[in-house]
Amino acid sequence: MSNDSKKFIKGTSHNFTIMIDEEYCKGCKICVDVCPKDTLEMVPMGDRWQGSVVIVRDIETCVGCLLCELQCPDFAIEIDVPKKVKKAAATS
């Protein structure tokens, strides 16, 4: 992902960083549908072929499950999760 088009949004409660590349997002809504905490939402963007792109609605609700990143068919979402949280998730 190029740093020019990426939107970086950092949460303070869990220290997750969500990076969304609007150039890659095609507005398919898969990420919004799989998010268990309604962290993401689609917003209209007229120049996109599906008419919308994903944004972060509320970063504080993100639990770092990575479902949005894993399910995005266009690699438009990247989640940076602190190592402590990754280790805890792996042992659960």
Instruction: Give the dihedral sign, CA 38/44/45/51.
Output: positive
Number of compact structural domains in the chain: 1
Give me the CATH number covering residue 45. Answer: 3.30.70.20
Give a yes or no: residue 19 inside a domain: yes
Residue 60 and residue 43: Cα distance in Å, rounded? 19
Check residue 12 and give its pLDDT.
64
Check residue 2 and give its pLDDT.
46
Give a yes or no: residue 43 inside a domain: yes
Give a yes or no: residue 92 inside a domain: no
> What is the number of other CB atoms lying within 10 angstroms of the CB of residue 40?
23
Give a yes or no: residue 28 inside a domain: yes
Check residue 1 and give its pLDDT.
44
Q: Which domain holds residue 62?
A: 6-81
**Residue 57 tokens, joined:** 């609605």
Per-residue pLDDT of the chain (92 residues; tens, 9 = 90+): 445 567 777 666 678 889 999 889 989 999 999 999 999 999 998 776 678 889 999 988 888 899 999 999 999 999 988 775 555 566 65
Question: Exposed, middle or buried, 90 (CB in 10 Å: 0-12/13-18/19+)?
Answer: exposed
Give a yes or no: residue 71 inside a domain: yes
Check residue 81 and give its pLDDT.
81
